Structure 1
Amino acid sequence: MIPKLPVEAVRRAMSEGDWEASSNLLATHDAAVQRTLESATLTAEDLSQWQSLLVEQLELLAELQVARDQTGQRLREMAQQRRGMNAYLRGALG
C-alpha cells in the first residue's frame, strides 16, 4: 500500500507557521515511502498510484518553495526596516 501524503496536515502546519511540524510530517512520510519501496514488489498496476503520489509531492514542493520565497522576502524587508530605524536613531541621538 502506498503511504498517503499528509497534504492537508502539512498545509495547516505551514499556515500556522509551524515549520517543525511540517518538516516532521514530511520526514515521517518519506520514511514510510522508503520502507514501502524496500519491501514492495512493484507491478505495472502500481505505477499510476506512485505517479499520483509523485504529482502530489511536486505540487506540495512548489507550495513550500513559494512559502520559502515569501518568507525570505519578508526577512529582507524587515532587515531593511531595521537598518532604517537604526540610522534614524543614530541621527536622532547624535
Structure 2
Amino acid sequence: MNVLFEAERPPGIIDVSPYWRPASYADGIILADALCWHGLDRAALEELNVPVAAIARGLLFRVLTTQERINDGVGMDFLKDEIARYEKAASAIGL
C-alpha cells in the first residue's frame, strides 16, 4: 500500500494489495535485514523468538529482490557485497 500526502488534505491511499501474510513474515524480513545490514548477531535472534523459518523467508525475499535487480542490470557493482551479507545471514540462522 502507498499513501500520498498533500498539505491540508487527508492522506490518499493508492495501490491497495489485499493480501494477508502472518505477522512473523514481517518480523522475518526485519530480522533478515538486521542480519544483513545492521550486524545483528545470533544471540539476539534467540531473544526475539521469531521462527527461523520466518527469517529464512525474509532472507529469501531479499535474495529474490536482488535477483530482480540482476535481471534488470541494476546495482551490479554491489553484488559481491550483497552475496556475502546473505551468506552470513543464512549461516547465522543455520542454513
TM-score, normalisation: structure 2: 0.39
Q: Which has the larger radius of gyration?
A: 1
Flag the structure with higher strand content. Answer: 2
Flag the structure with higher helix content. Answer: 1
TM-score, normalisation: structure 1: 0.39
